[in-house]
Amino acid sequence: MVQCRICGGPVDEFIDFGRQPVSDSFVTPETAGSEYFFRLAAGFCTECTMVQLIEEVPREQMFHEDYPYRSAGSVVMREHFEKYANQLLGGELTGRDPFVVEIGSNDGTMLKTIGRAGVRHLGVDPSAQVAEFARAEGVRVRTDFFQETSAREIAEADGPADVIFSANTFSHIAYIDSVLRGVDTLLAPDGIFVIEDRYLGSIIAQNAFDQVYDEHFYLFSVGSVRTMARRHGFELADVQPLSVHGGSMRYTIARPGRRPVSTAVTEHIEREREAGLGRPETYHRFAEHARTSCRDLVQLLTELRAQGRSVVGYGATAKSATVLNHCGIGTDLVPFICDNTPAKQGRLAPGAHIPVRSPEEFAKPYPDYALLFAWNHAEEIMAKEREFRAAGGKWILYVPEVHIV
């Protein structure tokens, strides 16, 4: 029996997607077949309720110099981070010489607003390439993994942080105990540690099975985050649902007794109890829904091919690796994928080796159908690609079930 990385309790494995590549390892045609593979399976801790992967991928395999994701690639995410940065500037960062640290600062989309306001800041990100993008925006960055040792060095150089922020990064880190010891070392007595991550309740409700991939080592619920915080000497003070990424949650963590605990925390925990997030059978049902969606998607793509219909992919997302490799979808069903990230263009999707092309290729000519892997940005993408619909094109989505729009 696998032991929980948070509490040491037993983990009930509920889903196994088999052999998978690192989700962001977009290889060149010359290096195809050189990817690192691992067994992608997830389990549920029957004691602390934390959902987590069974096998850990070495962090250097996932977050490296060529890491291709860019926060600024989405207008929605740019606006989201700018709004929160301004919220911090009007609240938590109004004291004398405030200091904010972002874990996983990526291309600096959030911190550049903080920096332009003249507030002391530091981004911590292990990818040298994305760090350079951030520096070009005037963001101060440390190219490193955030952990206890790096946090101690930051505290010695810059003093305590009033805010430590992490968006869509904290759940990626298997060695979470070292990170939280680092937060304890660096956080000011009255400071807050704010994390945003995909919300387990939304993932289960939407049957968003592709949110299970290597970078999402943990899938957080309010209950599991509260337990995790308590085990490391912190208190979950507030939670706020977010619409981004198909349903996320913002968690505000503080030192015990330093912040009032919002009623939103207990209200969400009660909703999670009613939704069955503390029961193993909920996750086994989720796994069955995932198997059904994979089967239905392959059947639809096969039928469209037999009818002579053209299909291309849209959005070479990290989570598409789970779908493509588990379902066995290759160039016979989806000849290429369009994506607006320059670092992915001209490369091949991990494992499946489907070519990734620029968005301009989408209209040369328009396909009959587009398989939308970036379904969490559906509204933004469909508004951008109105001419595709006007030309008679249709979208294929597989969340919450396989359907055509």
DSSP secondary structure, 2-68, as one string:
EEPTTT--EEEEEEEEEEEE-TT--B-GGGTT---EEEEEEEEETTT--EEESSPPPHHHHS-TT--
CA distance 39 to 214: 9
Q: Is there a contact between 89 and 114 (Cβ–Cβ < 8 Å)? A: yes
Domain count, the chain: 3
CA distance 209 to 205: 10
Considering 260, 294, 313, which residue would you say is the last residue of a domain? 260
Domain of 364 in residue numbering reads as 282-404
| Secondary structure class of 100 (helix, strand, coil) | strand
Tell me how far the alpha carbon of residue 254 is from its chain's centroid. 23
In terms of domains, do 128 and 221 share one?
yes
In terms of domains, do 231 and 317 share one?
no
The domain that contains 297 carries what CATH number? 3.40.50.720
Residue 387 lies in a domain: yes
In terms of domains, do 113 and 233 share one?
yes
In terms of domains, do 89 and 231 share one?
yes
Q: Is there a contact between 38 and 57 (Cβ–Cβ < 8 Å)? A: yes
- Res 59: pLDDT: 76
Q: Is there a contact between 283 and 339 (Cβ–Cβ < 8 Å)? A: no
Provide long-range contacts, Cβ within 8 A and 24+ apart, for 128-137.
Answer: 128/65, 129/65, 129/66, 129/67, 129/343, 130/67, 130/69, 130/70, 130/106, 131/105, 133/70, 133/72, 133/107, 133/108, 134/105, 134/106, 134/107, 134/108, 135/108, 137/107, 137/108, 137/112
Number of H helices, E strands in the chain: 13, 18
Residue 270 lies in a domain: no
Residue 88 lies in a domain: yes
Which residue reads 């609240």 in tokens?
Answer: 91
- Res 63: pLDDT: 65
- Res 33: pLDDT: 84
Which residue reads 């010489």 in tokens?
Answer: 97
Residue 267 lies in a domain: no
Helices (H), 232-377: 263-275, 280-306, 320-327
Residue 58 lies in a domain: no
- Res 66: pLDDT: 60
And the tokens for 36? Answer: 């690192």
Q: Is there a contact between 327 and 298 (Cβ–Cβ < 8 Å)? A: yes
Tell me how far the alpha carbon of residue 236 is from its chain's centroid. 21
Q: For 35, phi and psi rounded to 5 degrees?
A: -65, 155
Considering 260, 291, 323, which residue would you say is the last residue of a domain? 260
- Res 199: pLDDT: 98
In terms of domains, do 39 and 93 share one?
no
Residue 63 lies in a domain: no
In terms of domains, do 298 and 220 share one?
no
In terms of domains, do 85 and 128 share one?
yes
Number of residues assigned to the chain:
405
Which among 124, 176, 172, 115 has a CA at the least distance from the CA of 150?
124
Residue 64 lies in a domain: no
In terms of domains, do 9 and 98 share one?
no
Per-residue pLDDT of the chain (405 residues; tens, 9 = 90+): 799 999 999 999 999 999 999 998 898 999 888 889 999 999 999 999 999 999 999 877 776 556 555 666 678 889 999 999 999 999 999 989 999 999 999 888 899 999 999 999 999 998 888 888 889 999 999 999 999 999 999 999 999 999 999 999 999 999 999 999 999 999 999 999 999 999 999 999 999 999 999 999 999 999 999 999 999 999 999 999 999 888 999 999 999 999 999 999 999 999 999 999 999 999 999 999 999 999 999 999 999 999 999 999 999 999 999 999 999 999 999 999 999 988 899 999 999 999 999 999 999 899 999 999 999 999 999 999 999 999 999 999 999 999 999
Residue 13 lies in a domain: yes
Angle between helices 263-275 and 222-231 in degrees, nearest 10: 120
In terms of domains, do 309 and 356 share one?
yes
Longest dimension (CA), the chain: 67
